[in-house]
Amino acid sequence: MKSLSNQVVSMKPSGIRRFFDLAQTMENVVSLGVGEPDFITPWNVREASYAALEEGYTAYSANAGLIELRHEISNYMKEQFQVSYDPTTEVIVTTGASQALDIAFRSLLNPGDEVVVVEPAFVSYGPLIEMAGGKVVPVACRAESGFRLKREDVEAAITERTKAILLCFPSNPTGATMTGEELSEIAELATKHDLWVVSDEIYAELCYDEPFVSFATLHDMRDRTIVINGFSKAFAMTGWRLGFTCAPEVVTREMLKVHQYGMMCAPTLVQFGGLEALKTRQQHVPKMVKSYRQRRNYFIQALNDAGLPTHVPGGAFYAFPSIRHTGLTSEEFAERLLLEERVAVVPGNAFGESGEGFVRASYATSIEQLQEAIRRIDRFMKQFEVTTVKDSQQ
């Protein structure tokens, strides 16, 4: 048989995969390895999707999505994030934020174009950019700066081939957030070097200390930014696969072609659920945010007390503790924690080289499960006490 695509064959499977296989075979696992909310989608949203099915909405929608939903997304962006998009020409409803990223990169990149990517980062960014012909240039966010992106680091990564910057704040996996002022420094670079910005704002609603600032609201950024957002995290709808892009017409027009040929449209029933979710967001989102904040407060404190230095994440639902002082690599740490204490976390290097020395632990699970996880981690960490100087790490 003839060989398969060299590019795809040479692509590494996600580093999470191995842990997934290992953890799935074990019982009595407390999982902190899950990148999704522990809430089930609110009932009224599920019910709205049922109703659409009952009424027979089983056909394609417009390629860009139901126009009612695009209007609602446009309202949402205006009310929640103070940025205006024309629902008829600047919004595309996608099958999850992942597909939104895919159509963004395919529309932006020519072979060899470079994308400066914030790191540690969501596992899909690199492969999606490469499949679109681009080259990934990672820029590390360091623990010392609270995993915030530094202007000088970004600037050092920019070359004449740089086409775009990819940002994700609040961050998966670090939970870091950036203020408007800090983001403005990145925005200045985008203007100076004439770059596109892809801003993955999927965790926008999950900010606990400071209000979220959408990159598109910064000076002159609306017209060079593709905002990626979706329903998975804020509305607890991961399995529905529903996301959207908001971007100027000049690029939305091109992304729509990729979307139209590759996907046709997001599933219609799912879009009806999304419509209901946006309309009733005030009933659900603040409650979930409050609950995540409580769990974050508890969990970060408890990890630090257990001897795992952890910065306070301003958003998302991840803790990203340092495990360097144990002398283990993040994979060794995660594997031993799983085998010895049956707590699943994700090794930091799954999110890029700069994630080495850390693990990602999601606190999107019940407070009782978190307490159990901490009891087990406490026990696990005992063996390192001799070799570590706990106080100097904190």
Partner 1 sequence: MYSSQELELLEILEEKGYLETRLLANMLGVDEKTVEGMLEKFKADGILLGFRAMVNWQKINRHDVTAFIDVKVTPKRGRGFDDVAERIYRFPEVTALYLMSGAYDLQVVIRANSLQDVASFVSDKLSPLDSVLSTTTHFKLKTYKHDGILFTPQTEDKRLNITP
8 Å CB contact between 65 and 72: no
8 Å CB contact between 326 and 333: yes
Q: C-beta of 34: minimal distance to partner 1 in Å? A: 5
Nearer to partner 1, 116 or 121 (CB): 121
* Of 352, 334, 278, 351, nearest in space to 29 by CA: 334
Nearer to partner 1, 36 or 68 (CB): 36
Give the separation between CA 241 and CA 23, rounded to whole angstroms. Answer: 24
Nearer to partner 1, 5 or 24 (CB): 24
Q: C-beta of 78: minimal distance to partner 1 in Å? A: 27
Nearer to partner 1, 83 or 302 (CB): 302
Per DSSP bridges, beta strands 225-230 and 196-200 are parallel
Say which DSSP state 237 is in: -
Q: Which residues bind partner 1 (CB under 8 A)?
A: 14, 16, 19-20, 23-24, 29, 31, 33-36, 38, 40, 122-124, 172, 238, 290, 294-295, 297-298, 301-302, 344, 346, 350, 365, 367, 371
Q: C-beta of 194: minimal distance to partner 1 in Å? A: 32
Q: C-beta of 363: minimal distance to partner 1 in Å? A: 11
In whole angstroms, how far apart are CA 74 and each of 69, 124, 275, 386? 8, 26, 12, 56
Across 184-207, b (16+ Cβ under 10 Å) vs e yields bbbbbbbeebebbbbbbbbbbbbb
Q: C-beta of 264: minimal distance to partner 1 in Å? A: 25
Tokens 């990672």 — which residue? 138
Nearer to partner 1, 278 or 346 (CB): 346
Nearer to partner 1, 87 or 348 (CB): 348
Q: C-beta of 351: minimal distance to partner 1 in Å? A: 9
Give the separation between CA 273 and CA 262, rounded to whole angstroms. Answer: 22
Residue 346's DSSP bridge partners are 360
* DSSP reduced 3-state for 140: strand
Nearer to partner 1, 168 or 278 (CB): 168
Q: C-beta of 226: minimal distance to partner 1 in Å? A: 21
Per DSSP bridges, beta strands 359-362 and 318-319 are antiparallel
8 Å CB contact between 227 and 247: yes
8 Å CB contact between 164 and 116: yes
